[in-house]
Amino acid sequence: MKGTVRFVQGNEACVEGALYAGLKFFAGYPITPSTEIAEHLSLRLPEIGGKFIQMEDEIASMCAIIGASLTGCKVMTATSGPGFSLMQEALGYAIMTEIPCVIVNVQRGGPSTGIPTHVSQGDVNQARWGTHGDHSIVALTASNHQDVFAMTVEAFNISETYRTPVVLLLDEVVGHMRERLVIPEAGEIPIVERLKTSVREGVDYHPYLPREDGRLPMSDFGGVHRDNVTGLYHDMWGFPSDDPSVVHGLIRHLIDKIENQTNYLTRYKEVGVEDADCLLISYGSSARSARHVVENRRRRGERYGLLELQTLWPFPHELVRSKCANARYIIVVEMNTGQVCQTVRLAVDRPERVFLANRIDGEFITPTDIQGMLHLIQGKGL
Amino acid sequence: MPVKDYIRERFFPHIWCAGCGHGTVLNGLIRAVEKLGISKNDIVMVSGIGCSSRVSGYLDFHTLHTLHGRALAFAAGVKLGRPDLNVIVPMGDGDALAIGGNHFIHAARRNIDVTALIMNNRIYGMTGGQYSPLSGRGILATTAPFSNIDQSFDVVELATAAGATFVARATTYHVQETIEIIQEAILHKGFSVVEIMSQCPTYFGRKNRQGDAVAMLKRMREIVLPIGAKAKHGDPEIIERGIFVRKDRPEYCAEYDDIIRRAMKRK
């Protein structure tokens, strides 16, 4: 890959990815361990004519990016657990109104104030179900800085393609660790631009009537179409409606447009999965340790495999079921009490094969930790 | 342009009760925009949740009906995204100053060029008559059956202290004056606040024995007097109306444009 080589924090890799994807507006509030994203963007955005604003809280930050997105900008906010909790209502608003936006959550230990400077992956289910009501969501992860960059670009592309908020679930280790990043040259990674309506002035424009390919072209605020955006159930004009067929149609649309596209939305990496007797499933920074274990064991001729999930939601049930089909042990490595593990159990045949290898003490899960747990799981003692 | 050209008839009939003051505000707002001759494409109306917030849906502008209390935060994003557009934010008293109080003071502090219209009927109407931060002590509400012990905000004092550069009070009785004040507020470069006292005969009036809409409007005529009347009459019941603050202070989007110029030069 050609490009500029940098030695940066994961949070900075996220900033570079966002700028590469065309970010023009960021609103945020300082919170550990995501603050560096705001700091860097306060410097970088005005250099390209973009805008940065530090709002009065995370609620306002989430609302401000939605407002700015409606003027045609690509937008993002970044936060951590407590801030992500505050954003949930407006996240639901963005889902309901189908407004493209990217929300980065650099996870730290919770609940509550928790352990702000230490790592955790405890917000996986919050990303899925944090906002009220039935809905669907896209959530991506990354385990190294090149992937943080790539997944940030993906987050914007998916957000624009499907007109949906995308949650990028990073964690404290990935966010703060420094490593090499190659920033690709412009054009090397494709960028999805905002799809604008081609309906001319004076012709009836339906902001919520999907095209044949399912996409919903937008009309920016200030343009020739004056449409209504509301968090109430609404018809194809954006006007509130409590007609049961409209309500049912909209909620099905919001869920189906994500869930039916699971195959297109699934991003993953794998090592030695095809012949794996023991398959490790992981994501985010814990996938680094899992990969280390798998590579070591394979060097010794043992049949270990790694499935690194980069898309957590919509959960890639089909992929996980097929990759796990022949494994004797399936070990989910994560830093929570089994949020992905329980979903894997739902996905696979013979769920009694699925075990959890985790750490929930604020410390990073190391290859040694995983090895120890493998011994226990495989009945070899400590 | 005729008034009906500003209305989305698809939305009607409106949800407001007979005698509600919010329709008068809607009418006043349309006439203010019409007098200023602003194109409908150049107005974004951002509202929150409540009776007042339904104003946005009824008007043929770019409209954003958002979350309870958060309209000003959404509006900040819209305005920064397109500083050339006129952003008008109709809010209720609970919407603006209870759940939205933090966003209100910070929007005022930043002096972002947004027009905030606070339709103050001193009650939560949509949920059926609970006390708001503007109800005031001694008021009866469905959540204050023994009378309210909460003190109220004075919107004019609060907005002024928070840094708003245009602060006014109007009423649904003094309609012509209200139209003129809304015009001035829209023209003002900076954060402008207009408190518009509005009657809620259904919940506030009935519960507090203030009579019907006509009686409530008559009461407004008697006690809401031009600025200076309080000192002249020495009556604590009197509420003053008019433009209290109008001053120049750097506007947020203009300031940010300067940041962009400096950042681009540095690069």
Q: What is the ipTM, given to two decimal places?
A: 0.97
Q: Which pair of tokens denotes residue B19? A: 């005698």
Q: How many residues does chain B have?
A: 267
Q: How confident is the model over A149-163, as a mean pLDDT?
A: 98
Q: What is the largest distance, in Å, between two alpha-carbon atoms of chain B? A: 66
Question: Over the stretch B212-234, which tens digit does the pLDDT of each residue have?
Answer: 999 999 999 999 999 998 888 88
- The whole-number pLDDT of residue A358 equals 97
- The whole-number pLDDT of residue B234 equals 84
Per CATH, the architecture of B3-266 is what? 3-Layer(aba) Sandwich (3.40)
Per-residue pLDDT at A161 exceeds 60: yes
Q: Which one, of B150, B127, B123, B151, lies nearest residue B208 by Cα?
A: B123
Q: How confident is the model over A225-229, as a mean pLDDT?
A: 96
CB pairs under 8 A between A and B: 138
Residue A61: its chain B contacts at CB < 8 A? 73
- The whole-number pLDDT of residue A121 equals 98
Give the C-alpha separation, A346 to A339, whole Å.
Answer: 11
Do A63 and B65 lie within an 8 Å CB cutoff?
Answer: no
- Site of tokens 């917000």: A123
Per-residue pLDDT at B236 exceeds 90: no
- Percentage of residues in chain A with pLDDT exceeding 90? 97
Contact (Cβ atoms closer than 8 angstroms) between residue A304 and residue A293: yes
Q: How confident is the model over B69-86, as a mean pLDDT?
A: 98
Which residue in chain A has the smallest CA separation from B109? A56
State the average pLDDT for chain A: 97
Contact (Cβ atoms closer than 8 angstroms) between residue A323 and residue A307: yes
Domain residue ranges of chain A, discontinuous segments joined by +: 3-184, 270-377
Do domains A3-184 and A270-377 share one topology? The answer is yes
Per CATH, the architecture of A270-377 is what? 3-Layer(aba) Sandwich (3.40)
Which residue in chain B has the smallest CA separation from A88? B67
Give the C-alpha separation, A353 to A335, whole Å.
Answer: 20
Give the model's confidence band at B119: pLDDT under 50 very low, under 70 low, under 90 confident, else very high: very high
Where residue A354 falls (left for φ over 0; alpha for ψ -120 to 50; beta otherwise) is beta
A83 alpha carbon, distance to own chain's centre: 16
- The whole-number pLDDT of residue B184 equals 98
**How distant, in Å, are the alpha carbons of A207, A239, B12, B63, B143 from that of A242?**
18, 10, 15, 19, 29
Contact (Cβ atoms closer than 8 angstroms) between residue B27 and residue B49: no
Fold classified for A3-184: Rossmann fold (3.40.50)
Chain B interface residues facing chain A, Cβ-Cβ under 8 Å? 8, 10-11, 40-42, 44, 46, 56-57, 60-67, 70, 73-82, 84-85, 102-103, 106, 256, 259-260, 262-264, 266-267
Q: How confident is the model over A210-235, as a mean pLDDT?
A: 95
